[in-house]
Chains A and B, each alone.
Chain A
Amino acid sequence: MVNTAAETAYYLWLAAGAFGLLGGGYLVLLVQRWRALQAALAGLQANAEQQEAGR
């Protein structure tokens, strides 16, 4: 079977997109998790200080 240049380039870009989506998606996920944890940590720290002050 013979593929035209345009056809094979199309699949190359499709693959590149898949790599980008998977790798990029994972990175975004990591950053989101990191931010959520930082926020939770800040909240907990504020909470702890309040408890300290209340005592």
Chain B
Amino acid sequence: MQKNTGLKILSVSSVLLLVAALYMVFVYAPLEAVMGAVQRVFYFHVAAGWVGALAFFVAFAAGLLHLRRGSLLADRVALCSTEIGLVFMSMNIVSGAIWARPIWNTWWTWDPRLTTATITWLLYAAYLLLRQGIEDPQRRARFAAVYGVIAFASVPLTFAAIRIFRSIHPVVIGAGAPGAKGSFDMTPAMRDTLLFSVLVFTVLYGTLLWHRLRLEQLSERVAQMRLRLLQG
């Protein structure tokens, strides 16, 4: 594989940006009065959720592109973006649960956002399972794109459905509405930290996607070579 200076620069700057973001989260942002230190989870929690949503949107758009043009690069982007999105979504869900334990007094409530995030996670895990189950690359790409479109369309519907469910049912666990508990007013420093974290995570996503795409290219090269050797 040829040396790739662009990617190298991007990788190094992502690491530097991440260090800066960590500094802002732990030092620059003020301590929240009511919740204390655990509130600092919030910055990366939101940023990870944002990247998850972005990654799944990219996968959806790439899937559409594949269906229209049959581009194999688009299919590769869809796969890589979904995988990275799952990692960030996992971060989002796990960090949310850890924050909720001291604040809501429970690891989990069936709140619309939590539930939608989890169902979205399951959707894209299913997407990867579907890909794994199909041998033929052309068909795999097409089927994955079809599933990606359906999956993406169902997420807002699921959110609406859970809202209807919960707006009538009271939330039993945790005192009062979970939305109210743990909300706070952001100071300017907090807002800056949040925006910066989101920015850094977006750059991180781009870097990871690039690396992951190169990995996929390499894997395809190996597969092709194996095939040629078998035939030759």
Contacts and interface: CB of A to CB of B under 8 A. Distances in A.
The finding on whether chains A and B are genuine partners in a shared complex, rather than unrelated, reads yes
Interface of A: 1, 3, 5, 7-9, 11-12, 14-15, 18-19, 22-23, 26, 30, 33-34, 37-38, 40-41, 44-45, 47-48, 51
Interface in B208-227: 211-212, 215, 218-219, 221-222, 225-226
A34 B229 contact: no
A15 B41 contact: yes
A26 B207 CA distance: 13
A41 B102 contact: no
B215 A9 contact: no
Contact of A15 (B98, B215, B226): B98
Contacts of A33: 215, 219
B79 to A, nearest CB: 13
Contacts of A9: 36-38
Contacts of A1: 105
B229 A11 contact: no
A23 B215 contact: no
Interface size class of B (residues with CB under 8 A): 20 to 34
20 contacts: A3-B36, A8-B36, A8-B37, A11-B98, A12-B40, A15-B38, A15-B98, A18-B91, A18-B95, A19-B44, A23-B87, A23-B91, A33-B219, A37-B219, A38-B218, A40-B226, A41-B221, A44-B225, A44-B226, A51-B229
B95 A15 contact: yes
Contacts of B232: 48, 51
B99 interface: yes
Given A9-B37, A11-B102, A41 B225 contact: yes
A14 B37 contact: no
Contact of B36 (A5, A44, A48): A5
Contact of A22 (B91, B211, B222): B91
A30 B35 contact: no
Contacts of A26: 84, 87
B166 to A, nearest CB: 23
Given A7-B102, A8-B38, A19-B95, A47 B229 contact: yes
Given A11-B102, A15-B38, A41 B218 contact: yes
The 4 closest A-B pairs by CB, nearest first: A8-B36, A8-B38, A15-B41, A15-B98
B16 interface: no
A1 B218 CA distance: 53
